Chain A
Amino acid sequence: MTLLHLSFFSAFTLSSLGLAFHRTHLISALLCLESIILSIYIALSIWPIQTQTSSPSILPILILTFSACEAGTGLALLVAST
């Protein structure tokens, strides 16, 4: 596959494995979750440029919103469970 695809794919896979394997600190798992979302975000931002369509341009904004909520929830859980 192309270099672009490889970078996204590897970032996503490495973050997911990190989410599964970091068991000492919850915050490292949350950081991996953030990087999953980050890789998806960048992929979604590049995709309209690759396929020369402009309609999916709104998607990164939506993903950003959801990621913010999710990060907030995760941090609240972190704080509540200490």
Chain B
Amino acid sequence: MEPALLLNTSMLLTLTILLSPMLLPLLSTKFTNSPTLITRTIKTSFLCSLTPMTLFMYLGTDSITSHWEWKFIQNFKIPLSFKVDQYSMMFFPIALFVTWAILQFATWYMATDPYITKFFSYLLMFLIAMLTLTIANNMFLLFIGWEGVGIMSFLLIGWWQGRAEANTAALQAVLYNRIGDIGLILSMAWLASTINSWELQQTPVTQTQTLPLLGLILAATGKSAQFGLHPWLPAAMEGPTPVSALLHSSTMVVAGIFLLIRTHPMFTNNQTALTLCLCLGALSTLFAATCALTQNDIKKIIAFSTSSQLGLMMVTIGLNLPQLAFLHISTHAFFKAMLFLCSGSIIHNLNGEQDIRKMGGLQNMLPTTTSCLTIGNLALMGTPFLAGFYSKDLIIECLNTSYLNTWALLLTLLATSFTATYTFRMTLLVQTGPIRMSSMTTPDENNPTITNPIIRLALGSVLAGLLITSYIPPSETPPMTMPTTTKTAAILITVLGAILALELSNMTHTMNQPKQNTYMNFSSTLGYFNPLTHRLFTTKLLNSGQKIASHLIDMSWYKKMGPEGLADLQLMATKTSTNLHNGLIKTYLGTFALSILIILLTQT
């Protein structure tokens, strides 16, 4: 059997199965969607997508297929082409597995919602857009997927549209993504005008100018919430927990990093762009980790943790290691989605309580959820031989053994220790300790709809790293020899952060009032970034607009220097000279008449 044919057919089958709940209601009226139907569709699609993955693992088949061409203008080819290579083939099963678990969980979480079918259709449409982005071979199809995920993110964050904060958060998300889109359109325009094609195979590799790379980095900053365009990600926690789990942890936010992975050949030779990625990623990871230290909302802690890991992925791109970044994307998807699902279970079981200062002692009340929360947190910290270890430890090792900016290295190491600190803080406050919630809550997790997805994802968190690294050989040689301190640097720093967290939690058992200090203020107000940019920037812009349009043009040029100004000048002159006049008009006119008579007489 020809492997290429099997590969392409099964990929197309996966996509068609996904599209069927969207298209079949349009074709016959007897067909009705339901949440369980959509969940089963995703499960089927996942099982179907395992075929291409195993084909790639055992035979190494790649393919690029071209289906249709949009004949827009004569000289510019925009085909509908799919690239089925290592990245898309690995991403499909992982994304579909995570989505299957999330949708199964969402049938319980959103059970009381009257528009639950619409919710599931939105999630399905989001998934289709994301997979289009993944499988795209040219920038046009990628842009379609990019915009699709942006719009679905807007619709899903503002799902509870009666809530003002949800609407603001959705608007914030779409505006920040739009700023990133400017960068993407810039690079697309540069590519179209320079190499007359949008295919990823034709991008210039040898000497790329920095301008399109800056555009791509801006696009990744917007979509993947790097520092500068990051406030939308914590605000996006206003959406329901399945939305946070799917979009803002595993799938949508990695779209920016995925774009950089796909266009990586352009970056390889441009050291400026790589250093920019490195420093930007290091700054983002440290900033997000600092902000997560003083958060009290469980979903916001996990959101900042996502932001921090995205910064780490950007650092990996800056090290010229796209495959390692993709490995981190894959392993991160499992444990981050599981963390969100566990937090969703906790929130619903405590009747909507999201503040960790009001939880405690949940280990005895929700054993499965809290065990999986612990597994997820350990995987996030990079505990040896769980999923996060294979990618995160390798990244830190490569960081330590490369020739790069020391500042970036220091920031990343500091952020790794902070990761341990805030995850430990969250675990201790949520699961252990005295019960700080109302005694009327009845937590109950005996529903298999809750526990089965979480346990599946826990299995993924434990095994995924091992499986992926065993079956996919690396394309660059990882560093093999290094001093012992360097090799154990990640573990040491994580343990240091954990010890710090334990010490600090001991300090909170005393009854002292916490005093305000600069660092805590910085961390809890998210670095003063939100009020600075959201207020300062907009007031400056609107002020300068008012200055130019209203003050300068209307008042200055039309009034002061135009007609009224002239009148004012005349008035000033008149008022000055009124004092000089004596008013002897008879004398003046008499002299005038005398002059005329003299002229008359002297003419012959």
Task: List residues of A whose CB falls within 8 A of some B CB.
Answer: 1, 9, 13, 16-17, 19-21, 23
Residues of chain B within 8 A of A21, CB atoms compared: 589, 593
Contact in complex: B593, A23 (CB < 8 Å): no
Contact in complex: B596, A16 (CB < 8 Å): yes
Bin chain B's interface residue count: 10 to 19
0 or 1 for each of B156-179: is its CB under 8 Å from A? (1 = yes): 000000000000000000000000
Q: Specify the main secondary structure of chain A where it touches its partner.
A: helix
Contact in complex: A20, B585 (CB < 8 Å): no
Interface residue B576 (Cβ < 8 Å from any Cβ of A):
no
Residues of chain A within 8 A of B480, CB atoms compared: none
Residues of chain A within 8 A of B592, CB atoms compared: 16, 19-20
Closest 10 CB pairs of A and B: A20-B593, A20-B589, A16-B596, A20-B592, A13-B600, A17-B596, A17-B593, A13-B596, A21-B593, A20-B596
* Number of A-B pairs, beta carbon distance below 8 Å: 23
Q: Provide 5 A-B residue pairs closer than 8 Å at the C-beta atoms, listed in order of the A residue.
A: A1-B604, A16-B596, A17-B597, A23-B586, A23-B589
Contact in complex: A20, B600 (CB < 8 Å): no
Bound-state Cα–Cα, A24 to B337, Å: 100
Residues of chain B within 8 A of A20, CB atoms compared: 589-590, 592-593, 596
- Pick from A1, A9, A20, A23 the residue with the most CB of B within 10 Å: A20
Bound-state Cα–Cα, A77 to B603, Å: 35
Smallest beta-carbon distance B280→chain A, Å? 66
Q: Which chain B residue lies CB-closest to A16?
A: B596
Bound-state Cα–Cα, A61 to B597, Å: 30
Residues of chain B within 8 A of A19, CB atoms compared: 589, 592
0 or 1 for each of B37-74: is its CB under 8 Å from A? (1 = yes): 00000000000000000000000000000000000000
Residues of chain A within 8 A of B585, CB atoms compared: 23
Q: Which chain B residue lies CB-closest to A22?
A: B589
Smallest beta-carbon distance B139→chain A, Å? 63
Smallest beta-carbon distance B546→chain A, Å? 36
Residues of chain A within 8 A of B593, CB atoms compared: 16-17, 20-21
Interface residue B599 (Cβ < 8 Å from any Cβ of A):
yes
Bound-state Cα–Cα, A20 to B604, Å: 23
Known: A1-B604, A20-B589, A23-B589. 20 other contacts (CB 8 A): A9-B603, A13-B596, A13-B599, A13-B600, A16-B592, A16-B593, A16-B596, A17-B593, A17-B596, A17-B597, A19-B589, A19-B592, A20-B590, A20-B592, A20-B593, A20-B596, A21-B589, A21-B593, A23-B585, A23-B586
